[in-house]
Amino acid sequence: MAVEIVSRSQWGARPVSERDDMAMPVPYVILHHTAWPERCFTLEEGCAQMRRIQDFHMDENKWWDIGYTFCVGEDGRVYEGRGWNTQGAHSIGFNDKSIGLCIMGCFTKDLPNQRALDATEKFLAYCVENNKLIQDYTLYGHCQTKIKDCPGVALFELIKTWPHWKPGEHFPPSK
């Protein structure tokens, strides 16, 4: 099955203020969640959520753009954040060597639906096939690179069963 990627222009992204290039393929994926209760089950909800994330990152955090490389909605779509070959602002120490992938929603108690999980799996395979991720990449939850409750306890417990996940050497996951 193909991965449906919603471009920046499709979701209505604002222009970036600056950007740094990033060489690909990269060796890491850092998985996040938005931690907001709003979830995205339609294209319209996904586009609105992407604009909200970008506004928060640019206006509140004063970043150049949305921090994530890509985001996944529970509509089964992948939304372009900063996109390919652009350094993210999602995980200090990993921004220049990882894809920051965010599943939209709060996954502390509940998991994303199967459409989001399938889209995530397909997207990661697509990244390897298209030389954006090295074949033996490492998957970390954001909580492994910073003391934070991200990507949520429920989702973090699930990704620990995924083949590319490895125990982190940086910070212990918070409980």
Is 0.85 surpassed by the pTM of this model?
yes
Q: How far is CA 31 from CA 1, 11, 125, in A?
A: 22, 21, 15
Give me the domains of the chain, ranges plus CATH numbers: 5-10+22-159 (3.40.80.10)
Instruction: Give the whole-angstrom CA distance, residue 64 versus residue 59.
Output: 9
Q: Who contacts 55 (Cβ-Cβ below 8 Å, separation ≥6)? A: 14
Amino acid at 139: L
Per-run averaged pLDDT (10 residues), the chain, 175 residues: 92 94 96 91 97 96 96 98 95 93 95 97 97 96 85 94 84 42
Instruction: Give the whole-angstrom CA distance, residue 72 versus residue 83.
Output: 13
